[in-house]
Amino acid sequence: MAFPKLPPHDGPVLSVVDMHTAGEPLRVVLTGYPDISGDTVLAKRRYARRHLDHLRRVLMLEPRGHRDMYGALLVPSELEEADLGVLFMHTEGYSTMCGHAVIALGRLAVDYGLVTPTSPETRVNVHCPCGLVSAFVQYCNGKTGAVRFHSVPAFAFATDVKVSVPGYGEVIVDISYGGALYALVSAERFGMDVTKSRSRDLVDVATAVTKAVKSQVKLHHPVSEDLAFLYGTILTDGRDTFTEEPTANVCVFADAQVDRSPTGSGVTARIALQYHKGLIQLHQTRSFCSGTTEAVFTGKAIQETVCGDFKAVVVEVAGHAYYSGAACFTQEDQDPLRSGFLLR
Quick: pLDDT tens for 275-307: 999 999 999 999 999 999 999 999 999 999 999
Residues 6+ apart with CB under 8 A from 65: 27, 59, 71, 91, 340
The answer to whether residue 3 is domain-embedded is no
Total domains in the chain come to 2
Q: How far apart are the first and last CA of the chain?
A: 37
**Catalytic residue list contains 130:** no
Quick: pLDDT tens for 302-334: 999 999 999 999 999 999 999 999 999 999 999
The answer to whether residue 310 is domain-embedded is yes
Quick: pLDDT tens for 154-183: 999 999 999 999 999 999 999 999 999 999
Q: Determine the 3-state secondary structure of 22 from DSSP.
A: coil
Residues 173 and 310 in one domain: yes
Q: pTM for the full model?
A: 0.96
Q: Which residues pair with 297 in a beta bridge?
A: 288
CA atoms within 13 Å, Cβ hemisphere of 124: 34
Residues 173 and 110 in one domain: no
The answer to whether residue 337 is domain-embedded is no
Residues 169 and 307 in one domain: yes
Residues 311 and 174 in one domain: yes
The answer to whether residue 198 is domain-embedded is yes
The answer to whether residue 124 is domain-embedded is yes
The answer to whether residue 192 is domain-embedded is yes
- Which of these is catalytic: 98, 130, 251, 289? 98
Residues 175 and 268 in one domain: yes
Quick: pLDDT tens for 88-130: 999 999 999 999 999 999 999 999 999 999 999 999 999 999 9
Residues 48 and 183 in one domain: no
Residues 31 and 160 in one domain: no
The answer to whether residue 341 is domain-embedded is no
Residues 117 and 230 in one domain: no
What domain range includes position 107? 10-150+323-331
Residues 73 and 166 in one domain: no
Is the separation of the CB atoms in 277 and 240 below 8 Å? yes
What CATH number corresponds to the domain at position 238? 3.10.310.10
